[in-house]
Structure 1
Amino acid sequence: MKPLAAVPLVVAALAAPAHASEVAKPPRVPAGTTAAWAVFDRQAGRFVAVKNVHRKYRSASVVKILIAIDYLEGRKSVPPADARLLKIMLRSSDDDAASAFWDRQGKGRLIVRQARRLGLSDTAPPPASKPGFWGYTSLSAHDIVRTYRYLLDKADARVRDTILGHLRQATPCGTDGFDQTFGIPDAVPKPFAVKQGWSGFGTTPPVRCNGDARAVGAPISWIAQRATGSGVPDYGRPVLYSTGLVGKGERYVMAVLTAHPAGATWSSSVGRVTTLTKDLYRSLPS
């Protein structure tokens, strides 16, 4: 399989609308918040919005896409039990499911395999001292968009349809009880495919989500992700990520990554990332 063709991330390459006044100004990043984003326009074949695209963040649950790719590309058939794990891992961001695949597939070695295969320049395994912490994988907005483009343009149809099929049916709630409708789900018109990520807000949601995922206590594997670490991007700051396919015909591939001030509340952080995502979407060419 040939590597995914690179698209230069330069301002001159950004698509411009016929009338600049028709497009809103780029999003304003709130004070104390660090943000990065990348939006690839599949219709134009170019990036139309970029900011800090190679800045590294700890992955939180966004890494579950790479875990799924690695698992599916390593076998021709999926046992029913594993199919159920993939479903809940991708739709409801289940952490025990992610940990099961992570351990079986060699932990950080799966990240090395996928980074090489997909050409991910900013993606690396967790620190050597934290091999079981899949949420400490480093990645960037650039690499997330590249991963979605790989699924859309290069991956085997079985792999593509399984993963994107689940992301198109993401549940409102994660299995840890956190509401995962921030960012894209609250900012962009349906339909969309979405994979969210969050870390640093404790193990108990401030308000229990009432969606259709099973609402249980935070899994032990996710509690482990909160353990003290070093060499982890933005460790000590809560992070929220909203990534996916949006627009008519899934025209845009979008990744919005944010790190919030230490001690920031869930509600205030969710409000910031959702407003930022909404402003970003409004700024895109129509």
Structure 2
Amino acid sequence: MTVRDELPAVGADFAEFVGVPPGVTAGIAVFDRSTGQFVQQLNADHQFRSASVVKLLIVLDVLWQLGPEYDVPAADRARLEVMLRSSDDDAASYYWDECGGAAIVERMVKRLGLTHTSGPPATHPGFWGYVGITAADTVRIYRYILDRAPVRVRSYVMGLLHQPTRYGTDGFDQYFGIPSVFDPEFSIKQGWSGFLGSSGYRSDRAKPDSLLDLVSDALHTTGTVGVDDRTIVSVFTLHPSGTKYGKAYTDVTRLTRALTVPGAVRTAGSWVVTTGEGVRVRTAPNTSCGILGHLPSGVEVLVSAQTQGELIDVPPRSSDWWSYLPKYGGYVTNVYVGSGAPKLPGVPVRQ
């Protein structure tokens, strides 16, 4: 199979088609491994600060140093697992310091043939989240892992990326974009930076001394979709400083929903906007059961069904209907879902 590595040219029409919101900068690359071609791209060579996506380079560098017949020590196995599955920053910082900082990036750029990836700005040498990277280079990273890396490296890395935790170790919900849209076959390495309390490094609003945007809030979804990791999806976004996490989460997920992704299976349901702060997702349609998690404020979620349960009265809203969120595997009261009607129109009833 001949691999087509150049990107088909698209521009404003595609940006409008996928619905890039005003004020948002997006870099998109979708690569079909079955045909060896890029399916879609937008600003694919535009450099973004990587946030936690750089953890892909970190793990590859660590495994490279161990050698093709590596046996990952127990301590490293624990760090790498939490770094990839739960986007842990302490683990990334440990390896950044231990393995030479920006030298990690320099080594991996040469090994993987990356064209627009660079270390952090000279003003921020210790900030691994400020590594410059592009949507196209991220596709190249996944292609290396899937098609060129030693089998043990591929199995180890992809095995972890296929088992992400719902929340990062910083408490942020990392199921935006790819995992919100596709099911059941996907892998992810997400990135977020700049949102109040987010992981990585907070945007440096005082000294943006770099061509790389260190001020806008960053939210990236990258990974694979489909059986045998058929399609690589890479969506990088920058949002106006101060954007609510739920708003950016929704924007990135909408962009991902609009993409053409060969081999993908999209989770069925209706997309509904939620209201309220820290809305709880529960194991059953009542407040006496367990809590599975909390929704980002004002996020759009997928609802597959609704059922009657405990009456919740929060004036001016009141409802005994609860929505089932398949991506959470739990329920949220309709008081905080939709436009205010006790029962969601057009959503099936679950007995």
TM range (shorter): 0.7 to 0.9
1:10 aligns with 2:8: yes
> Comparing both chains, which one has the higher relative contact order based on Cα–Cα distances under 8 Å and sequence gaps of 6 or more?
1
Alignment of 1:82-161 (within 5 A): 82-161=76-155
Of residues 77, 81, 90, the one that matches 2:71 is: 77
SS at match of 1:74: helix
Describe the superposition over 1:8-60 as per-residue Cα deviations: whole angstroms up to 9, x where unpaired.
11249xxxxxxxxxxxx941211111111001101111001111010000000
Indicate conservation of the 8 Å contact 2:189/2:223, yes or no: yes
Of residues 228, 236, 243, the one that matches 1:257 is: 236
SS at match of 1:182: coil
Shift, 1:249, TM fit? 2.8
Q: Percent identical across equivalent pairs?
A: 45
Higher-strand-fraction structure: 2
SS at match of 2:40: strand
Describe the superposition over 1:214-245 as per-residue Cα deviations: whole angstroms up to 9, x where unpaired.
xxxx6xxx45x544552162211101000000
Give the equivalent residue in structure 2 for 1:186.
180
Shift, 1:62, TM fit? 0.2
Give the equivalent residue in structure 2 for 1:46.
37
Shift, 1:261, TM fit? 1.3
**Where in structure 2 are there 5+ consecutive unaligned residues?**
11-15, 264-351
The one-letter code of the counterpart of 1:167 is L
Give the equivalent residue in structure 2 for 1:21.
none
Give the equivalent residue in structure 1 for 2:294.
none
Measure the CA separation in 2 of the matches of 1:262 and 1:226: 9
CA RMSD of aligned residues (A): 1.8
Give the equivalent residue in structure 2 for 1:34.
25
1:279 aligns with 2:251: no
Measure the CA separation in 1 of the matches of 2:92 and 2:141: 18
* TM-score relative to the length of structure 1: 0.83
SS at match of 1:175: coil
Shift, 1:279, TM fit? 1.0
Q: Return the index of the structure with the highest Cα Rg.
A: 2
The one-letter code of the counterpart of 1:152 is L
Higher-helix-fraction structure: 1
Indicate conservation of the 8 Å contact 1:32/1:260, yes or no: yes
Indicate conservation of the 8 Å contact 1:136/1:232, yes or no: no
Measure the CA separation in 2 of the matches of 1:279 and 1:261: 22
Give the equivalent residue in structure 2 for 1:20.
none
Indicate conservation of the 8 Å contact 1:39/1:50, yes or no: yes
Shift, 1:92, TM fit? 0.1
Indicate conservation of the 8 Å contact 2:29/2:135, yes or no: yes
Of residues 38, 48, 51, the one that matches 1:57 is: 48
Give the equivalent residue in structure 1 for 2:189.
195
Give the aligned length. Answer: 251
Measure the CA separation in 1 of the matches of 2:125 and 2:160: 27
